[in-house]
Amino acid sequence: MGFGREVSTKKYRSNNLPDMPEWLVQAEDLPNRLFITPTEKELVDLISNHGELTKANLVALTQHSRTKVTSSIESLLQKKFILENQVSEYSGGRRSKTFSLNGELGYVAGVDIGATSVDIAIANFGQKVLARCSEELLVREGPIKELGRICELIEALFTENHLDPAKLRGIGIGIPGPVDFSTGTAISPPIMPGWDRYPIIETVQQWFPAANVVVDNDVNVMALGEINHGAGRGVNDLIYVKIGTGIGAGIICNGKIYRGASGCAGDIGHIGVDKNGPLCPCGNRGCLEALAGGPAIAERALKAALAGGSEILIRHYHEHDDHLTTVDVGEAAREGDVVSIEVIRSSGKMIGEVLASLVNFFNPDMIVIGGGVSKLGDILLSSIRQAVLNRSLPLATRNLDIVFSAIGSEAGVLGADNLAMDYIFTVESISGNSVEGIRED
């Protein structure tokens, strides 16, 4: 099914490195694998990140000679992995060829699973989104029902848009919980009953047996979306902070996701900020998300309002059947409500102080703030910025940008497409008469 590689007499054997994900080793047997050399993979990644590049660009961006780059480009053109375009013109009037990924080579599906909904996007290899859909789905209803419906939606998108499902080469999935990246499974996800260690990859591959399925934490996926499509384009070291019901961070180090030893790097929501604070679902007291996450912000605002501190919040409370959300707090703040403004500022300060520690430790180029609570707006962002500046070393913040996400809620589904693309190619290392199949993140 799909485009197989050209018939070859070469034999491939896996180089099963200890840290290689199990699902990536197994992907060698999928019929849709595309084989590529390490140098070719390097060029493909650069072209993918920049959209299109000239040969001179590729030489400048790599450590390789012009001869090696030329040879690799010719090989990629022969395999039809990239296309040659004549669109760039130098000052001397000479036209220079540029190279882009061959969008017609195949498709990837990006799936962003949230607590109450799912977003799906089908993209080609040129990162052009060809089909989209969203649907309300409750993650707490379990993996069997949700994954079944997601696969139905993917099939429907291919049918309705007259796309060939045989060319679906990869599926990237972001889920709202901790993920063991080596196995592609959720580990004790607090808001996902029934998903603990459930075989997500195997279930989806029963529907799409030729597609390589990759699963990661939703914040990591959002960080991928931001560096490929949003404010983080061209940034090597970035922290993406999702502020919603919980608080988490996706860490981009040297252009790649940093997951840590067990895949849970960036779980900043459970950093303690007040040992006498409220009980967190994790069992500890005073965690950041228990004090500055969406529900905590709404609860603190409501408590102050019921104590007589805000007529505006009380009005919002009654207008929504005696229920108050962070959206109401944001609207009240825009109406000039002093209580709402103070709650937002204090929450931003707590988040910023935690981020200041990360800035001192990691020294990123950029911090991107996303998630539903980011819609509280500039009061939140300015409070975060001020706290980071106050608590970080001057050298660490000299070139630091702290911004809102440029793509908002799109970060997850676009990042999921990028996650799938990152594992499309099987990298081959040629040594003597043997060819050793290895894979790069």
Query: Domain with 147 in it: what CATH number?
Result: 3.30.420.40
Same domain, 253 and 374: yes
Co-location of 284 and 389 in the same domain = yes
For the stretch 193-217, pLDDT in tens is 999 999 999 999 999 999 999 999 9
* pLDDT at residue 308 is higher than 90: no
What's the structural domain count of the chain? Answer: 3
Q: How confident is the model at residue 10 (pLDDT cuts 50, 70, 90)?
A: very low
Whether residue 301 is found in the same domain as residue 381: yes
**Residue 13 confidence (pLDDT) above 80:** no
For the record, the structure tokens of 174 come out as 């972001």
Instruction: Tell me which residue range forms the domain holding 400.
Output: 235-406
270 & 313 share domain: yes
Residue 1: inside a domain, yes or no?
Answer: no
349: in domain? yes
At residue 91, does pLDDT exceed 60?
Answer: no
Please check whether residues 400 and 349 belong to one and the same domain: yes
Does residue 312 sit in the same domain as residue 378? yes
Residues 176 and 242 placed together within one structural domain of the fold: no
**Domain-embedded: residue 20:** yes
Q: Give the whole-angstrom CA distance, residue 150 versus residue 203.
A: 11
What is the rounded CA–CA span in Å between residue 99 and residue 116?
A: 41
The answer to whether residues 79 and 23 belong to one domain is: yes
Q: Is residue 3 part of a domain?
A: no
- 292 pLDDT more than 70: yes
Note the pLDDT tens digit of each residue in 335-346.
999 999 999 999
354 with 288, same domain: the answer is: yes
- 25 versus 310: the higher-pLDDT residue is 310
**Together in a domain, 275 and 303:** yes
Contact, 155 vs 168, CB < 8 A?
no
Q: Return the SS3 of 49.
A: helix
Q: Give pLDDT, residue 90.
A: 55
Q: Indicate if 271 and 134 belong to the same structural domain.
A: no
Residue 7 located in a structural domain? no
Percentage of residues in the chain having pLDDT higher than 90: 75
Residue 33 located in a structural domain: yes
In Å, how far are 70, 345, 350, 383, 389 from 386, measured between CA atoms? Answer: 49, 10, 11, 5, 5
318 with 387, same domain: the answer is yes
